[in-house]
Structure 1
């Protein structure tokens, strides 16, 4: 199967020999177009390093928090079944795809990066699900039952987004491996789960532990709202 041309070209501009391949994520039945792990085995030259730092290709990895969120929804479809869901900072689209496969009524993959949205489209097709797409979270109406978020709190400057998630959705489900100790009266930690980024980047053990937080506008955190 040939990799999506636009995504392969974009990856090639960063790392000339890098290839996208289809990978089945560990512990799931989900498949994604991801960077070939063999491309991560060599040293990068200074120019490649500069390009990667300036425009990181987040969309060609499945980060640990996204994998945790995808597994969580697959094992607990009641969180999304029959609901309208928005995946904030969708990246590869792994959590959005998991929500769609778990029976969500509608799933919007939202990301500022056009390449991420292209990756979401390619990965949705690969998994046989239909998503909608958005490049601007703040242009979306307050109409979602659940906002799902993975690996967005890596910078504490992003913590104010925790309030914004509840401005567009009745509930929020946030997974993060970088910032695990934030204090917010509406968010309750409901899980601490182990996962690694795929392909495996050999990250420190501390980044393999993913905290999962839930918040609800009505203040009842820790369980899905199953009202129709």
Structure 2
């Protein structure tokens, strides 16, 4: 695999997405794709690698939209806090946290296009965040993190288990943990407290329904 330069990634995103307002967070603007298959294929071509996971950064998924909505409606959760947006994708949750008054936000995602997508999306909303493409699951949760936000993290069973263990460790260390999920197959419902439920407009390009019932959960202390 030959990794495109940051400038190439930025131009790729600008050429294959457009600025849109996600239906559940219309006060935010993101560079998003309209169809998953074409941009998925183009991403594989750009990276010269077949079999890549979906370009999560190119879409506002239901869990992220719900979590961003909750943060915008309950700014006291993140106001003045140091926040991690785990598996940030487009950065919709990180943008929402900054709009809600977070002191600073670290967006983390291992997708090679996420850094460029985040830079564009943060600029579109007049905010700025830090970014890492390191796999945070390889280390304990950062001790400085006061709030950890995670949307749409339960697509695969082994990964879901690792993430939930990692989030559990963060909660045990004193961080507030919020999770947005539309009832994915591997989402564990035991040991969690539901904070809110939304009907999130999405598309059959991404989901099995055009409106997806999606909840925001927390790990209780």
Q: Give the TM-score category using the shorter length.
A: 0.7 to 0.9
Q: Counterpart in 1 of 2:95?
A: 97
* Offset of residue 213 of structure 1: 1.1
1:90–1:181 distance in 2 versus 1, CA, 3 Å: closer
Q: Counterpart in 1 of 2:181?
A: 176
Please list the CA deviations of residues 48-77 of structure 1 after superposition, one character each: whole Å capped at 9, or x if unmatched: 499485242211111111111111111111
* Offset of residue 19 of structure 1: 2.4
1:48–1:115 distance in 2 versus 1, CA, 3 Å: closer
Maintained 8 Å contact 1:193/1:210: yes
Which of 107, 110, 113 matches 2:108? 110
Please list the CA deviations of residues 80-133 of structure 1 after superposition, one character each: whole Å capped at 9, or x if unmatched: 111111000000000000000000011110101121122111100111101011
Asked if 1:19 is matched to 2:25, the reply is no
Higher gyration radius (CA):
1
1:203–1:141 distance in 2 versus 1, CA, 3 Å: closer
C-alpha distance in 2 between matches for 1:122 and 1:50: 17
Maintained 8 Å contact 1:65/1:150: yes
Q: Counterpart in 1 of 2:9?
A: 6
TM-score (norm 2): 0.78
Q: Counterpart in 2 of 1:167?
A: 169
Farther off after superposition, 138-147 or 200-209: 200-209
Maintained 8 Å contact 1:73/1:98: yes
Asked if 1:215 is matched to 2:219, the reply is yes
TM-score (norm 1): 0.76
Q: Counterpart in 2 of 1:153?
A: 154
Maintained 8 Å contact 1:63/1:196: no
Unpaired segments ≥5 residues, structure 1: 13-17, 220-228
Q: Counterpart in 1 of 2:143?
A: 142
C-alpha distance in 1 between matches for 2:19 and 2:215: 27
C-alpha distance in 1 between matches for 2:43 and 2:206: 21
Unpaired segments ≥5 residues, structure 2: 1-6, 45-49
